[in-house]
Amino acid sequence: MVNQREVQMFFQDKRIDQVYLAAAKVGGIHANDTYPAQFIYENMMIACNIIHAAHMAGVQRLLFLGSSCIYPKFAEMPC
């Protein structure tokens, strides 16, 4: 899913009207702490590629789910 062309081709070949985006590179808190740049890069590529391809393919509904591991340990909670 990090390959933009492959994701675009998938959406072109299929007739998809809904996307549930829960895909991500995962490895736990230790792996996220050890390789933060790699995790954020790959996860952003996955999300951007799928969201863009879905938009270009005319997908009507997209649900994006995120993991709590992407936030810092002491992140301030929004009001």
- In this prediction, residue 61 carries a pLDDT of 98
Given a cut of 70, is residue 69 above it in pLDDT?
Answer: no
DSSP 71: S
Q: What is the mean pLDDT of the chain?
A: 89
Q: What is the pTM of this model?
A: 0.79
Residue 72, judged by CB atoms within 10 A of its CB (0-12, 13-18, 19+), counts as: exposed
**70 pLDDT above the threshold of 70:** no
Task: State percent of the chain over pLDDT 70.
Answer: 92
Q: Which residue has the higher pLDDT, 74 or 17?
A: 17
Predicted pLDDT of residue 9: 97
Can you read off the two tokens belonging to residue 16? 């998809």
